[in-house]
Amino acid sequence: MIRKAEKSDYEEMDFVFRESAKALCIRNYEKSKVLDWVGKPWAERFVESANKGNDQFVKISNGKVVAFAELNTEKFMLNSIFVLSNYAGKGIGQELLEFLISKAKEAGIQYLKLDASLNAVNFYLRNGFKKCGVSKFTTQNGVVLDSVQMKCVFGT
Ligand SMILES: CC(C)(COP(=O)(O)OP(=O)(O)OC[C@H]1O[C@@H](n2cnc3c(N)ncnc32)[C@H](O)[C@@H]1OP(=O)(O)O)[C@@H](O)C(=O)NCCC(=O)NCCS
């Protein structure tokens, strides 16, 4: 089940973010950079993110948060999808992506942009996004990550 995130989900989402980044992003970045990025447990990151206008959604499996995603319809931006590493490769990322695209369409948006971490580029390419540039993405806690700018224009 995918549903809107609640404040009571933030600790679990923080765990998912930190575990997923450490397990799955480490293949494409220096370990020290990923460790700086994930930092210490900090559930308030999601309060900050919600205050910036991001809509947050969680995927629940067996009663726990196994993945989450954030969307900013005002900025036409897909901000994040993170899946617990044990649940990766099972289509959950794709399910969340399709969910976000349906939310974006509901909001009257015709396209979404994102800054993909290097490990996620193939995932987005397989799911209809195209590369449109490269960027140095600054994370919430100020770490600069090489990333790929991508865009998906929705069909009718
Ligand atoms: C990118 C991500 C969201 C994709 O979600 P997912 O549920 O794993 O998506 P899929 O099931 O479609 O599988 C995606 C990839 O996992 C690989 N995979 C297969 N089995 C796997 C396993 N047991 N463990 C990890 N990855 C596996 C697949 O080969 C596929 O690789 P590719 O996309 O490079 O071709 C997820 O891997 C993730 O959370 N990564 C870390 C955070 C991140 O980078 N998020 C994107 C930030 S913009």
CATH code at 120? Answer: 3.40.630.30
Q: What percent of the chain lies above the pLDDT cut of 90?
A: 97
Per-residue pLDDT, 85: 98
- Higher pLDDT residue, 104 or 155? 104
Q: Does ligand 1 have an atom closer than 6 angstroms to the CB of 119?
A: yes
Number of domains in the chain: 1
What pLDDT, in 10s, does the model give residues 77-127? Answer: 999 999 999 999 999 999 999 999 999 999 999 999 999 999 999 999 999
Residue whose Cα lies nearest atom 2 of ligand 1: it is 93
Residues of 33-42 as b/e, b for ≥16 C-beta within 10 angstroms? Answer: bbebbbeeeb
Per-residue pLDDT, 156: 65
Domain that residue 21 falls in: 2-153
Give which of 77, 81, 116 is closest to 96, Cα–Cα.
Answer: 81
Q: What is the spatial distance between Cα 24 and Cα 9, in angstroms, rounded to a whole number?
A: 22
Q: Mean pLDDT across the stretch 20-32?
A: 95
Residues 6+ away with beta carbon under 8 Å from 62: none
Q: What is the spatial distance between Cα 79 and Cα 100, in angstroms, rounded to a whole number?
A: 10
> Which tokens in the block code for residue 26?
């480490």
Q: Does ligand 1 have an atom closer than 6 angstroms to the CB of 123?
A: yes
> Which tokens in the block code for residue 119?
């490990």
Per-residue pLDDT, 122: 97
Residue whose Cα lies nearest atom 18 of ligand 1: it is 89
Per-residue pLDDT, 11: 98
Give just the sign of the alpha carbon dihedral 122, 85, 78, 114. negative
Q: What is the spatial distance between Cα 134 and Cα 131, in angstroms, rounded to a whole number?
A: 8
Residues 6+ away with beta carbon under 8 Å from 11: 41, 43
Q: Does ligand 1 have an atom closer than 6 angstroms to the CB of 120?
A: yes
Q: Does ligand 1 have an atom closer than 6 angstroms to the CB of 83?
A: yes
Q: Does ligand 1 have an atom closer than 6 angstroms to the CB of 82?
A: yes
As a whole number, the mean pLDDT across the chain is: 96
What pLDDT, in 10s, does the model give residues 47-69? Answer: 999 999 999 999 999 999 999 99
To which H or E segment does residue 126 belong?
helix 121-126
Q: What percent of the chain lies above the pLDDT cut of 70?
A: 99
Q: Does ligand 1 have an atom closer than 6 angstroms to the CB of 148?
A: no
Per-residue pLDDT, 123: 98
Best residue among 15, 16, 24, 65 to mutate for probing ligand 1, ranked by most atoms within 8 Å of CB = 24
Per-residue pLDDT, 155: 80
Burial class of 136 by CB neighbour count within 10 A (0 to 12, 13 to 18, 19+): exposed
Looking at the CA of residue 95, tell me the nearest atom of ligand 1: 7
